[in-house]
Structure 1
Amino acid sequence: GGADTVMILSIIPTFIDHIISAPNITSPEQLRGKIGSVNRFGSISDMGMRLSLKRLGIDPEKDVRIVPAGGNPERLAAISKGISQFTIMNEPFIKEAERLGFRDLVNMATLKIPLHGNGIVTREAIIKAKRPMVTKFARAITEAIHYIKADKDATKTVIGKYTKFTDPEGLERTYKNYTSVLLDVPYADPAGIKTLLDDIAPRNPKAAAADPKSFVDQSFVQEMESSRFIKQLYKK
């Protein structure tokens, strides 16, 4: 069965982290027998690591050992000290890892694992009671996605303001990493929900029985498409 909670837009529809490895590891196959670090068990980095390894033909339960090590700086410290031989990171920490001699082994976005890393979720009761407001919000977010893609310099300034990063190359790489996966037409794909349900299913039988489609409402994006709202944005 479904829930009152539904996703109406998907902003980042896949994993955008990278697998970073010790310099002597030159291919995913060489991760076998090694220790990988994630933020904590059950976190999005843990799930991303395990699903990515599976896509690469490596069993995350048998072929490697995964340990919790904390946030990006802590994981960088763990790989620097040899506590782990590979980890998962996003920009601009990838640049820092490369500067220290580690290898950017796999860009997880290229594996195209459907998962809503970022999206807009609301309740069906709110949609029913305040649909015009939700429509305006959906349009504003869709317009913001266009703005991010259309005005790189302004977007990088905003990224710098909130992350406190000042390094131009780091900001450029962060911008590219995110915009490479941002959707012009931000449909919430049920496949991204299914990835999450499949991950939860071993611990929660309800997830195994749930229909991914019941957790998405695509009508707002459909309306923006049929009214040519999105087409007009990208014509400017």
Structure 2
Amino acid sequence: MRAMVEAIALLKKDKAFALEVMRKYLRTQDQEILEETYDVSVIKYLKKYPLPTPEAFQSVLDELVQENPKAKGQDPRKFYDDSIIRELAKSGFIDSLYR
């Protein structure tokens, strides 16, 4: 988890680096595509504190109902543990990555 939040911080703090990584793995030189991808992927969706939400897990459960009726009515909070991220946030580790 530490490595994941470090990677998120690096991508958010060093746009040039992030664009080079995307250029390599997306195999495109199109700057407009890279910029749009950065804005959506890094700015919009990657969160400083990557905490799961009950709503996100509920969406998954709603989809699973078709294949597994046991998913219906389940509490989405039973399916994830956010204690490690909360601990990293509380310790100040995540904030320290943005200084």
TM-score, reference length from structure 2: 0.91
Work out which of the residue numbers 38, 41, 44 in structure 2 matches 1:175: 38
For residue 210 of structure 1, report the CA deviation from its aligned partner. 2.6
TM-score, reference length from structure 1: 0.40
Structure 2 residue ranges without an equivalent (≥5): none
| Structure-1 residue corresponding to 2:63 | 199
Aligned residues: 98
* CA deviation string 1:118-150 (max 9, x = no partner): xxxxxxxxxxxxxxxxxxxx0110010010110
How do 1:152-171 residues align onto structure 2 when only pairs under 5 Å count? 152-171=15-34
| Structure-1 residue corresponding to 2:84 | 220
Amino acid at match of 1:188: P
More helix by percentage: 2
More strand by percentage: 1
Amino acid at match of 2:66: P
What is the Cα-based RMSD across aligned positions, in Å?
A: 1.2
Larger gyration radius, structure 1 or structure 2: 1
Q: Percent identity?
A: 38
CA distance in 2, matches of 1:177, 1:191: 20
Q: Is the 8 A contact 1:190 1:215 kept in 2?
A: no
Q: Is the 8 A contact 1:225 1:231 kept in 2?
A: yes
Structure 1 residue ranges without an equivalent (≥5): 1-137
For residue 199 of structure 1, report the CA deviation from its aligned partner. 1.8
Amino acid at match of 1:205: P
